[in-house]
Structure 1
Amino acid sequence: MKATCEVEVRVPSGITVGARVFAPAGVTDEPGTPFAVTCSPAPLIFVDSRPVSGMLEDRVSRGSSVVVIEDNVEPADVLEVASRLGITQFWLAGPDVDETRALAPARILGAEPVRRHRPLVTFGELGPQVRETGDSLVVRRAIMDDEPAVQAMYDHLLDSCDVPGAETCGWKRGYWPLPNDVRNRIETGTTWVAQDAAASGSGDAVLGAMSLDGDLGLPGVELPLAPLEPGEWLTCHLLAADPAARGRGVATALLAAYAREGIARGCKALRINTSPQSLSNNLYHELGFVLHKPVWFPYEGLSLTGWTNVYELRLDGEGIVPQGDPAAPRADVVAPRAVCRASHTEDAAPRASAVSPDGEPVR
């Protein structure tokens, strides 16, 4: 069976690891399936360089991507290769499964996750329309009187990041958010807050927050995105939800407000980036954001992979491909398969934006 994609990744141990991707029929190396790795069903990572044709054909025929990594690699190397491919959750076969799970317990699956398809933006005769998120939450622009409550919400999130063995966003007090960043963003009028509709005044508890501007926060990085003029896109930074409010749809309400603001400004696209190590990637997939190839952009002071997942949601209908239920069986349509070859380059880079939707902490 011929590989759809081949990738070489220099991993933390200093060696270069080769990985081959085998994709289901019809899946090509395009935006939405970067490196031809599908999100649903979750891919299988197989650590073994020996021929595994029987297993490959069985998994791929059932619609799952398979990634074969060279054997004799460390558990951390497996996670780095997965991050390079933009993979958030996966099945793992081969040696050191328990050791790899101990490093990132939420990333290695024991059961297929439930994935919903609930597009944040739909298109009709009236143009882009943002889905309703209910009336239990209020999202509004923050004022300086909100600063203590916003800081308290971020402190709650940072507290949760300190829980040993928990899958967190990797945020670290004093390193991310950057010192004075929260205050400065409120002062410049770019911060938005989510509150309980029954207590939505200044000074009341904040359940979540985000900052919106036109800077993706990846200086010097060549983005795998179609070029747009300044003002034609809107970026979300520091998206976070209080862990105590998990399950209330705080991040979804914030992202809906983000989409409405982008439409009101006449933007053509919403853009966001996050660590492949975060389960919040699942939320972006559910809401219809398109995943592009990860880019190399390390965060100084944070123990995260240097790769960053880049997402885009078009508001002008460009490149929109109608999608059905991602859990439905894939059509057996044979299409040309692109063979991509990529290498990891460790160019130093400054910090970028961070997000943490629905209490699922992310970078």
Structure 2
Amino acid sequence: MIRKAKEKDIDAVVEIYSKIFEKEAKAGTTTGWKPEVYPTENTARESFLKDELFVMETEGKIIAAARLNHEQEDDYVRGNWQLEAPKEKILVMHTLVVDPEASGRGYATQFVADYEAYAREKGCLSLRMDTNAINKPARSLYKKLGFSEVGIIDCTFNGLEDIRLVCLEKVLN
């Protein structure tokens, strides 16, 4: 089950970012993220300060995190969204991370399921998110979980240049 992060969780979230960077330095990137560009400690801290950082904990250890809010990236205007709805009726997930040491155990799937349950509880009508086009594992997972790809946008994203941003949406019934 996900929960809102506490200040003491920020270091654990940043450590997950570091582990992802280390893994991708050895095995090749799937996220397209870059150390000291995105995501950074400031990414986690700003999310926490806005009360938007959510974490998943198991056996006392933070194993996954994401930012949940109603803020859509500026480039989202170029997506072919399935549902027109007021901003407050759309819950957006940003920067989902799972500790690489815990990967393959279904934590990303559970995090997304909890995100959906939270959105329903808040009366939201649609879930939106994005991922880098090169992030094939994430794209496959989101498709399996009922998200539709509603556009691929060439842009500069969070300081990362030449990104092909895949916009994803799941309309809630």
Residue pair 1:218, 1:297 contacting (<8 A) in 2 also:
no
CA RMSD, Structure 1 to Structure 2 (Å): 1.9
Q: Which runs of 5+ in 2 are unaligned?
A: none
1:163-242 aligned at under 5 Å gives the runs: 163=26, 166-178=28-40, 180-196=42-58, 198-199=59-60, 205-219=61-75, 221-225=77-81, 226-242=83-99
| Number of the residue aligned with 2:160 | 302
| Number of the residue aligned with 1:342 | none
Residue pair 2:63, 2:102 contacting (<8 A) in 1 also:
yes
Q: Distance in 2 between matches of 1:301 and 1:310?
A: 18
The structure with more helix, counted as a fraction of residues: 2
| Number of the residue aligned with 1:289 | 147
Q: Which residue, out of 99, 105, 109, partners 1:248?
A: 105
C-alpha distance 301-189 of structure 1, shift in aligned 2 (>3 A):
closer
- SS of alignment partner, residue 74 of structure 2: coil
Please report the TM-score for the alignment, with normalisation by the length of structure 2: 0.89
Q: Distance in 1 between matches of 2:39 and 2:141?
A: 21
Q: Which residue, out of 257, 263, 268, partners 2:114?
A: 257
CA shift, 1:178, in A, is 4.5
Larger radius of gyration: 1
| Number of the residue aligned with 1:150 | 13
| Number of the residue aligned with 2:126 | 269
Please report the TM-score for the alignment, with normalisation by the length of structure 1: 0.44
Alpha-carbon displacement from aligned partner over 1:173-205 (angstroms, at most 9, x marks no partner): 111014512111112211111121x32xxxxx2
Code of the aligned partner of 2:53: T
Q: Distance in 2 between matches of 1:212 and 1:301?
A: 20
C-alpha distance 173-287 of structure 1, shift in aligned 2 (>3 A):
same
Q: Which runs of 5+ in 1 are unaligned?
A: 1-137, 200-204, 318-363
C-alpha distance 249-186 of structure 1, shift in aligned 2 (>3 A):
same
- SS of alignment partner, residue 292 of structure 1: strand
